[in-house]
A and B are shown apart, each in its own frame.
Chain A
């Protein structure tokens, strides 16, 4: 249990980093590094985290960070791990950290290649659902109905959010899981499990972004929790692409999606039909997920 072990020694993030107040991504990486450290190396694509981590020689993490070109995270991660192995340092955990842009869109090809080759790396996507660092442009992870700076009012994001977990499951990788910052114990358990497995592992972390989502900075953890409680972002894990298991069950008592949407300005002025459409899309996905999971593993 994280709180039982509030040992500052384990923390690998350094105060003074450049994240906005209430940044979910900063919190996600705090949990990530404390769970996997200290023998850890991070490959980082262009993203908010490139800024959060600080300009050299300053750094916000107590582990090496290798900044890499936007589309190349999967390949650079593969190379780093193989290099470390060649030098006899194969015990170092290699984490690729990328935003949703660097994962769902521009990084997808390298990610797919590394997953297919079953490279021994942990690919962590912190998903703030848009290209935040360059000013909140729509990505394929942006949910239907949200406003971004490339889809300003009266426009909105059209089409559904890409289902990255199904894509990763289709690669048959040993381990894939979803996680989010309101459930640090769940997240730590999944990261630790991932670390114990060899081969390609993928963790999808929903990371609320106050400026990008138009939410209160104080609401970050609360929103993350609501995302799970409404079923918008279910918590589950997939072994070998086939064995799906819920890790936090919302049951029949899923909260209505509006509880989540109402606290974010990006969904303001969303008309009723769109809210209904989004709720229906979510219900479909939930049904699909429950079928994948099977009755015994609905936890």
Chain B
């Protein structure tokens, strides 16, 4: 009966056969099974990233796997790794122990891995059909990416000479190195995506023509109409709108704004304008004037602090009344005191002051240009997304819109049912749900500098993060470890359930039946 049973080859053993011929898994009544629940980070991620899963892959230094998981939701992690406002981090459960996981840094590392390791020549199959995309911002690029990897020929029409939308023309270089977009673009071109620049859809090429020459069209033209202040002197020389100012600098132009600069507004574009102005030759002072209080600023607090640290003067509760001009050029601004009341702004015209300056940058917000919709004579469903639809939003939201549009278009063109995008039925895992008692054994490390070490700080809320606790506590040694991840060996698992009870991530359940 025991013939063929391997003798134990341990150095200090005196001849016997391993008991593993006993398949004690036959005793099992319940079987450990993976169950994924929703982590706070995923649930707060604006593009619904499966964050704990790619963190886990990075922890094992399995970069191809990390990219594979990442790109299911986000094809541009190097971009978001630089500019995303990281809503994912705010409620990270790890923050309850010491400090939140630096999710965005790991994301950026995956992004650079992708840029460094993309193998050129991998043109996607482009035989299934042709789709035109209007606008090369994050929304347009994301849609183009998902259509291309699904076998469609995509042509992106861009009004500007530069690809990347607001990421290329709005976001300043000191926050996003230009090489990131250039390298992303090279990959997209290599994947077979065509780009037609300096071509405005609706003007240089008719919408109707695109509908007839392509199987479908995705509109992602962003929100580029600068709001006006409607005050005297707004047309004077030396008065800029933030987007014009930023895109000129981003294209390498010189706004010739020496001396004193006053930025009006309290959003991110205002901060970016102020910090960019500070970097222009000849500028010796930059003030930012906002009509409400500091606490009411829509800009990211960290950005406001950075501006202040760099020397931008912040002035609150002041509303511009007029731009003072001399010989058609701006020389100063008159302000009235102003604060937030119950029914809007309360302006006190008796408390006013003037500020002299040579350049004014108006950053009062942007609106989408809806005129393109007026040209549509289509009866088919219309696909549009990003800032064009939402109004000024963020890069990750635009990426998500592009992805959703791509999969909707695919379903439409192939006659398959629309994917259920809203479906995330999983339970959200709170800090209290986690079982950190077992983690006490794992001696949690403090904030780390290497991506795979930082990724290892993730508690894996609701999904396995390969912590090894199930392996550690199995009395039957029925948990196998290969490539750093864990599998159950059902030949020997007796179904005791210790693993599911102890799993810190609450990623296991015992299921009935063998």
Interface residues of A (CB under 8 A from B): 1-3, 6, 8, 11-24, 26-27, 30, 37-41, 54, 56-60, 62-64, 92, 181-185, 210, 216-222, 225
Contacts and interface: CB of A to CB of B under 8 A. Distances in A.
Most chain A C-beta atoms within 10 Å of own C-beta, residue among B11, B471, B477, B489: B477
Interface string B289-301: 0000000000000
Contact of A1 (B443, B474, B500): B443
A222 B435 CA distance: 10
Given A1-B443, A18-B22, A218-B510, A59 B481 contact: no
B81 to A, nearest CB: 28
A218 B501 contact: yes
B16 A222 contact: no
Interface in B489-511: 489, 491-492, 494-498, 500-502, 510
A13 B476 CA distance: 8
Contacts of B327: none
Nearest to B438: A221
Interface of B: 2, 8, 10-24, 27-28, 437-438, 441-443, 467-469, 471-478, 481, 489, 491-492, 494-498, 500-502, 510
A3 B501 contact: no
Nearest to A55: B19
B10 A60 contact: no
A51 to B, nearest CB: 11
Nearest to A185: B441
B20 A15 contact: yes
A67 to B, nearest CB: 13
Most chain B C-beta atoms within 10 Å of own C-beta, residue among A13, A41, A57: A57
Given A26-B475, A220-B498, A221-B438, A59 B11 contact: no
Contact of B481 (A8, A41, A216): A8
Contacts of B474: 27
Given A16-B21, A62-B10, A217 B16 contact: no
A217 B497 contact: yes
Nearest to A15: B492
A8 B482 CA distance: 10
Nearest to B500: A218
A57 B10 contact: no
A221 B481 contact: no
Contacts of A181: 473
Contacts of A24: 475
Contacts of B20: 14-16
Contacts of B475: 19, 22-24, 26-27, 30, 220
Most chain B C-beta atoms within 10 Å of own C-beta, residue among A15, A16, A218, A219: A15
8 contacts: A17-B22, A57-B16, A58-B19, A184-B472, A185-B443, A210-B496, A218-B498, A220-B496
Contacts of A225: 437
B19 A54 contact: yes
Given A15-B491, A62-B8, A221-B502, A56 B16 contact: yes
B18 A6 contact: no
A99 to B, nearest CB: 16
A12 B496 contact: no
B471 A6 contact: yes
A24 B496 CA distance: 11
B17 A58 contact: yes
Given A21-B497, A58-B22, A217-B498, 12 more contacts: A1-B441, A6-B471, A16-B21, A16-B23, A16-B24, A21-B28, A21-B494, A54-B19, A58-B18, A58-B21, A218-B500, A218-B501
A21 B11 contact: no
A15 B476 contact: yes
A47 B20 CA distance: 21
Sort A-B residue pairs by CB-CB distance and give the 7 closest, nearest first.
A218-B497, A22-B496, A16-B22, A21-B496, A15-B492, A21-B494, A217-B496
A16 B18 contact: yes
A58 B8 CA distance: 10
Contacts of A20: 494
B442 A1 contact: yes
Nearest to B7: A57
B498 A22 contact: yes
Interface majority SS (helix, strand, loop, mixed), chain B: loop
B357 to A, nearest CB: 60
A185 B469 CA distance: 12
A37 B8 CA distance: 15
Contacts of B481: 6, 8
Contacts of A58: 2, 16-19, 21-22
B12 A40 contact: yes
Contact of B11 (A26, A38, A56, A220): A38
B502 A30 contact: no
A59 B8 contact: yes
Contacts of B501: 218-219, 221-222
B26 to A, nearest CB: 10
A255 to B, nearest CB: 12
Given A14-B477, A57-B17, A58-B17, A184 B441 contact: yes
Most chain B C-beta atoms within 10 Å of own C-beta, residue among A17, A21, A38, A219: A21
B272 to A, nearest CB: 44
B18 A59 contact: yes
A22 B497 contact: yes
A221 B467 contact: no
A30 B14 CA distance: 19
A146 to B, nearest CB: 22
A254 to B, nearest CB: 15
Contacts of B489: 15
B438 A30 contact: no
A21 B279 CA distance: 69
Given A15-B492, A218-B496, A92 B442 contact: no
Nearest to A3: B468
Contacts of B471: 3, 6
A262 B472 CA distance: 26
Contacts of B28: 21
B12 A14 contact: no
A13 B467 contact: no
B24 A15 contact: yes
A6 B485 CA distance: 11
Contact of A92 (B12, B438, B498): B12
A174 to B, nearest CB: 24
A123 B72 CA distance: 56
B10 A38 contact: yes
Contact of A3 (B14, B16, B21, B467): B467
Contacts of B497: 21-22, 216-218
B4 to A, nearest CB: 13
Nearest to B499: A218
B500 A15 contact: no
A24 B438 CA distance: 16
Contacts of A64: 12-14
Nearest to B471: A6
A90 to B, nearest CB: 14
Contact of B12 (A8, A41, A59, A184): A41
A39 B17 contact: no
